[in-house]
Amino acid sequence: MGQRLDRYLAGLPEVGSRAAAERLLRDAEALQRAGVFSILLEAVPAETAAFVGERVDVLVYGIGAGPHVDGQLVISHDMLGNFVGDIAPRFVRRYAEVGAQVERAFSEYARDVRASVFPGPEHCYQIDAADEALIRAARQRPAPAVGATP
């Protein structure tokens, strides 16, 4: 399926035409008049982003908007390859494939919590033995009713 049809079916505006670039510029100008300090363009052609960025007096950042913007944003999950499913945004260069490692870490954490091996004594804050005994004894007494005064 082509980009135009994908965007149409998703309810997103077409961004690859001159008319679309003009509409985006009008929107950016309206945002500028409203007092924004920056604009974020996502998933638009590089030429469209340049066209808009050259005509407004606010910072223009891009996520998948090419190199001709004031700054680049990439979501860390995208950059690190930490995806759910087969997501592969065109505008992201994966610098690592940590998704499988993150999934493994969470699985091991859940397993250890369920097996009551985490947290262990080495992960707990120590207190004076006498204070610990006083608190343990207080735990044996019934808790006062909510709103009751001691």
- Respond yes or no on whether the N-terminal peptide bond of residue 119 is cis (omega within 30° of 0): yes
Q: In the predicted model, what is the mean pLDDT of residues 125-146?
A: 82
For the stretch 85-124, pLDDT in tens is 676 777 778 787 787 888 888 899 899 989 989 888 887 6
User: Could you state, in order of their start, the residue ranges of all structural domains in the chain?
Assistant: 3-73, 99-140
Q: Is the pTM of this model over 0.75?
A: no
Q: Report the catalytic residues.
A: 42
Predicted pLDDT at 9: 39
User: At 59, phi and psi to the nearest 5?
Assistant: -65, 140
